[in-house]
Amino acid sequence: MNVNELGNNKVTVNITGEKVEVHASDPVKETLKKILQEKGIDSFTILVDGEEVVSTNDLPEQFADHDIEVKRYVKAG
Amino acid sequence: MIDVKLVSKAKEVSQVISAIDLSWRNYVENLKENIFTLPFRGNYSFFTEDSMVLVEGYCGPLLIDKLYHNHKTYLLKSAISHDPYRIYGMYDNKGRFDCFVARPEIGFHFMGMNNHGHSICTGDIEFTPPSSLDSVKEVAERIIQSFRVINMESLGSVILPANHERLRAIIDNRDEGMGRRVEKLMSEGLIEPIL
């Protein structure tokens, strides 16, 4: 059980410093896509268990047992 | 009044004296050109290049591993890296801040070529002209972080090592729209959406 897991089978993910609750069994890719779209975050990086995602294969299927964080990037140029 | 009298009584200056005077003036002007004013006090590394002072603000790895276009972030399948990569605050010889530059010049967000190479296009990074080493370092740190993302919507001069030629050729093809270039990068397997 991950430290961020809540009693009702929910977990929190860190979205650019804000804690957001999701179901542990939610699909990571679709859920993050939806949350980021709602918040208007389009330039970002994802950390899974403290490691930055460098390939989409690094994304777990579900949130359970993982610490997931999204950090915003300032765009260059 | 005295000036008028002096001038009227003055003898024609000899050519030898004129030549000495000109030589002396040239020497002083040349000296002035080569005097550098350090932009601020402190313990820091810098070097001079032509008539500019370059103050080191960052020395470490460069990593470019993401691409942004049309509200989407993509991962580069083959990240671009270089180590050591240095970012400098550039000051003129009077100590006035001019711009930020990188050595070597690698990246996607440089301005056009000028007398001192390509300056860095700092885009959304807001800062006042750095007046201390800490402030040079602070801005350089934000630049190196932002350099990780290729912003297709604010692309500058593209300067890449030879082993990323295909990526450069597609991204820097100004004859095609940005959308088409991103499609090409996808179809050639050079990028993938992060989500």
ipTM of the shown complex: 0.79
Which pLDDT tens digit goes with each residue over B129-146?
999 999 999 999 999 998
Residue A66 near residue A2, CB atoms below 8 Å: yes
| Cα A70 to Cα A18: distance, rounded to the nearest angstrom | 9
For residue A29, the chain B residues in CB contact (below 8 A) are 195
Q: Does A19 touch chain B (CB under 8 A)?
A: no
Report pLDDT for A64.
Answer: 92
Which pTM was predicted? 0.79
In chain B, which residues have their Cβ closer than 8 Å to the Cβ of A16?
none
| Residues B156, A77: C-beta atoms closer than 8 Å | yes
pLDDT at residue B149 is higher than 60: yes
Which is nearest to B160 in space by CA: B152, B150, B145? B150
Asked whether the beta carbons of B126 and B44 are under 8 A apart, the reply is no
Q: Is A33 on the interface with B (CB under 8 A)?
A: yes
A57 contacts chain B (CB < 8 A): no
Cβ contacts (< 8 Å) between A56 and chain B: which residues? 75, 192-195
* One-letter amino acid of B132: S
Calculate how close chain B gets to A4, using CA atoms only, in Å. Answer: 22
- Which of B121, B148, B194 shows the shortest C-beta gap to A46? B194
Cα separation, A24 vs A63, whole angstroms = 5
Of the candidates B68, B77, B147, the beta carbon closest to that of A43 is on B68
What band does A1 get if pLDDT is binned at 50, 70 and 90? very low
Q: Quote the pLDDT of residue B127.
A: 92
**Residue (of B96, B93, B114, B94) closest to B105 by Cα position:** B114
CATH architecture, domain A10-72: Roll (3.10)
Looking at per-residue pLDDT, the higher value among B117 and A41 belongs to A41
Which residue in the set A36, A43, A55 is minimally distant from B149, CB to CB? A43
Q: Which position has the token pair 């000495």?
A: B20
Q: Do A36 and B195 touch (CB under 8 A)?
A: yes
Chain B contacts of A42, Cβ < 8 Å?
A: 68, 71-73
Binned at pLDDT 50, 70 and 90, residue B126 comes out as confident
